[in-house]
Each structure stands twice: as C-alpha cells, then as structure tokens.
Amino acid sequence: MTEPSPAPQRHPPKRHTLFGVPEGYDSVFLGRLAKKSPHPVIHVAADDLRFEQMYETLRFFAPDVEVLRFPAWDCLPYDRISPTSDVVGERLKTLSCLMHRQAGKPLVVLTTVAAIIQRVPTRGLLKNSAFSAKKGERLDLHKLQTFLAANGYHRTETVREAGEFALRGGLIDIFPAGSEEPLRIDLFGDEIEHIRAFDALSQRTTEDKDVLDLYAVSEVLLTPAAIENFRTKYRELFGAVRKEDALYESVSEGRKYAGLEHWLPLYYDHLETLFDYVPEATVTLDNQAEQARDVRLAQIEDLYQARHSMLKAEQKDKPAQYRPVPVALLYVPQAEWEKKIESYETIDFSPFAPPPDQEDAGGRKGRDFGDVRAQSGGDLYAAIAAHVKSLDKKVLIAAYSIGARDRLNHLLEEQGLYTSPKYGLAILGLEHGFETSDLAVLTEQDLLGDRLSRTTKKKKKSDAFLFEISQLHEGDYVVHEDHGVGQFEKLETVVVDNVPHDCLKLAYAGGDKLFVPVENLDVLSRYGSEEAGAVLDKLGGAAWQARKARVKKDLLALANELLKIAAARILRHSEPITLAPETYEKFS
C-alpha cells in the first residue's frame, strides 16, 4: 500500500528586485500593479519628498486607483512637541479606512520608511474611531457627542483648530482631524439640512458638502484605562516618579501634554504596525528605501542615547528630565523589519537596466538635453522638437507650472511641434523623465536644466524694533512668527543658569506665557489689524501654522497668475505703428 504524498507546503512569498523602474515610471507601474492585484499595495517611499512626488504622479497616471496616505509624524523622534493634528488625522483616517475598505477595489497605501517603522495603536483600539453622516440623514446628537468625547475632540466657544467642536442649538461646528477646513452642520430638528465648510478665521461658510467624516484626533486617547496603563508602565520603566514630573502629572489628571505621543507604548497593552492593518498586501520599496531605513534607525538610536545620557546626569534637586521609552517599544528594529518583509510578496524597485536573467519592467531614464545646452551654438528647442518627432510613441512634456507649460508650448510651436493625440504637455512635478516601449516623458528639468530656487528672508534690525518697544503698552497685541498673535504684558528679567536675560512677556490663549529674549526680537512684529477683533492664538497650537500655510498658498497662486499674465504679454506680438513726420507736426 503506497503512502499518500504529503500536502505541498506553501513557500513564503518571494522577495525580488524589479529592474527598469526609474523615477516617474514607478507610479505608472504601481498603478498597473494595483489594478491587477486583488489585494492592496503598500508602497514605501524613501523620504517625504519622494512620498509627495509619488502621490502627485500616481494621481496623474492612475486616477482610477484609490490612494491612501500614511505620512510619518512631522516631528523628530523623542521630541518635546506633538505631531500636528492634520498629520495625525491623515494617519488615523488611513488606518480607519483600511479596517473598513471594500474588497477588490484597486488601492495603494502610500507611506514612508519613517512612518512604517513606527508602531501604531491596534485595530481593536481604533475600531470605533470613525463617524460618518450624510446630508438629509437623521443625526443622533447624543451619539455624536459621545464619539467626539471618546476620540479626543475638545468643546470650545469658537472652532479654530483641528479637534475642536462647538454646539449652538441647531448649529454644530466641527474641525475634523486631517481636514483642511472645519465643517458647520445645520440641523432642522434632528435632520441634517446642510453641511458646509467654513473659514476658521472669518467663520464664514465657503462651500457645501454632502458628507461628514470624522476620525480620532490623536493616537493617544486619555481614557481611564490608558491613564492607568501609563502610570503603571511609567513607574516600571523609570522607577519612582520624581517631583515636578510634568508629563506624569498631566497624564494622571487626564490633561494633554505637549509631546505625550512619544510615550505611545505606555498607554496601551501592545501596539501594531501598518503591516498588521493590511496582512495580505503586496509591498513595493522605493529605490534606496533600505538605506533610508538604516539612516532613520541610526538617527532614532542617536536621539534616544542623547536623551538617555541627559537622564543619567539628572540631579536629584532638579525637576525631572525627559525620560525616553526604549527604541524597540516604539519603533521596529531591523531584525523585526526583515521578518515582517519576508512574510509579504515584496518588490524592490531599481531604476537601472537589469543584469542577465533578471526581471525587467521595461522603463529607462529619459533623454537629458544637457549636451545640447552645453553647446554654445546649439539650438535647444529645435533639438527637442526633432527628438519628439523621431519617437514612435506617445510623448508627454511635464512642466512645473502653467506659465512654464505655456512658454514651452509656444517655443516648440515655433519649431513646428504642435500638440496632438501623440504629443502633449502637462503640469507635473517630476524632476526627471522616463521612457517605456509606448511612452516617453520629458520634464522641464530634462529640457532646461536644474531649477534655481533662492529664498531670502528679510531680517529686522533689532535697534529699530527696540524703538517700537518703547511704544508698546500693556495689553498691546504682537505677532510671533512661529506662535501667532499674543498680548504684550511687560518687560521682565529672567535668570537662566545665573545669567539674567531681558525678555518680553507675552500672553496666549488659555493663560499660557511666552518669554522672548530681546536679542530675538526679529521674530516679533506689531499686530497690523484693528485690535478690537484680535483673537489670541493657542501656544503650540496648529491654527497659526495653518493660517500661515493658507496665506502662502494664496500668495503662490497669485504669483502664478501674475507670471502667467507676464508670460502672455511677452509672447504676444503686434505690428509696430509707424507715423509720418508730418503727422507729429500736425499734432503739435
């Protein structure tokens, strides 16, 4: 009697390098992979710059593929400040969407090395961290208030920052985590009559919305269980609690503390990683991602050791120092990373041509016209036009702005190259182009060379500002470039390490105080509007930075329009008007 053959063992998914995937083509390949795969694809970018570039190019080349962003915290490891609420909101939104995603829909989860090696709250903790309502539906106000309280939202009179909400009868203002603008819900009885976005500064509505989507504000929710976990684990790790340990006191009382997220492992029984939210995914790694991981882990270790050395030198009669959690509790070490990667089908992208018998995706770096630019008598635009005409494939020229696109289009039209189904121009932030068997992409940088970008910062003269100080009175409003609108109280001498410093004492919302040394007065300016309507910013809050970013965005849009107008004026030609000399004589 023959023995039955053993069941075939399933071998772990193979990790391999895919050659011929240059920058730009990686997003094309990723979009195609997501459409073919029955499971999500996790793409790990080497850094934040590649993360943003990949997001832009993915939306351009694969608009029908859903892309979820999972960025890293925008603060250093073991920092004293918290990540901004918009970054945390985007992270938690992605984690929530992954738990409730529709199977079979093409999906790319875009992240970075820094983000994926950091641990996150478990799926069990976040299963109730999403709330959704639509226009025309009935809203259970008690259910909404319970959700807001449980997920870190703070009730206030006027909503200005992410994570705040206000209730005024049939109007509910909420600033969802991860959203660019707050939302105003207008109720008719218990039915949602309108959902409108509004400006946090002016409080004026801007546009109608159909859906209200809410997610948790923070990765640390100070529930009674989380507080008790923190107190127990903090004492286990660091021993007896020192006097004036502000972190321990704040968390014990259920109050937020700047940077409390850096002790994330202490609030919960255990943590997970992004991998755990998508256990069946295909993982693709950016070129240089492994090197970026090594650099990031080394940076984390250095920052931990720096904090730890300060802790060892702590003096008993001084307030408690920063007590960092061990690296492996919050971050994924290399050995654990390798083990996780081995359990997935993993593809390492390489921009280079393949060695013999290696897999080739078929992409190559695009043509660079540096050789033509280097020739003193070379006709650059004639060479570009000739190259495009010689290609037996579709050609796309990617420019950085509308003005640059229109200028390139005009100059190439002078060489007889006109847009067609085969050839076109687009606005796309690619640095370098690529070629495949059916597509060639040329970028503005490939054609014209590296972009020159210079930023200048106007420095104030301190002596001029000292003259302004003499005109400041108690209660006057000033603007700090990093913290926003504050109120001047008085000049005060602060002694640090037995050295006196003259400082301006500024008051902020919530009674917070900021001391600005007189030698750093260039960071301050007078409040330029009517002071009657001035609103103090929250020290360490995100509202001021959000307003600055919005103004910068508007200024860039305005500058782009002005450049477009200037370019149009330059490109327009008209016949000169010539008059006979006797015409001038008649006029005189």
According to the model, what pLDDT value does residue 584 have? 61
Residues 6+ apart with CB under 8 A from 439: 28, 393, 394, 395, 396
Residue numbers of the chain with a pLDDT score lower than 50: 1-12, 453-467
According to the model, what pLDDT value does residue 547 have? 80
From residue 217, how far is each of 84, 153, 176 by CA, in Å? 10, 6, 8
DSSP per-residue codes, 428-461: ---SS-EE-SSEEEEEHHHHH-SPP-----PPPP
For residues 136 and 97, what is the distance between their CA atoms, to the nearest angstrom? 23
Q: Any long-range contacts for 245-253 (C-beta under 8 Å, 24+ apart)?
A: 245/319, 245/320, 246/319, 246/320, 247/320, 247/323, 248/320, 251/222, 251/227, 252/227
For residues 437 and 350, what is the distance between their CA atoms, to the nearest angstrom? 18
CB-based contact 209:185 (threshold 8 Å): no
For residues 269 and 229, what is the distance between their CA atoms, to the nearest angstrom? 7
**Token pair recorded at residue 222:** 């100070």
CB-based contact 511:557 (threshold 8 Å): no
According to the model, what pLDDT value does residue 119 have? 97
According to the model, what pLDDT value does residue 549 have? 79
For residues 117 and 273, what is the distance between their CA atoms, to the nearest angstrom? 7
CB-based contact 258:81 (threshold 8 Å): yes
According to the model, what pLDDT value does residue 521 have? 76
In three-state secondary structure terms, 192 is strand
According to the model, what pLDDT value does residue 78 have? 93
386-419 burial string, b = 16+ CB within 10 Å, else e? ebbeeeeeebbbbbbbebbbbbbbebbeebebee
According to the model, what pLDDT value does residue 454 have? 43
Residues 6+ apart with CB under 8 A from 407: 567, 571
Amino acid of residue 525: S
- Beta-strand relationship, 107-112 and 183-188: unpaired
**Residues forming a β-bridge with 502:** 493
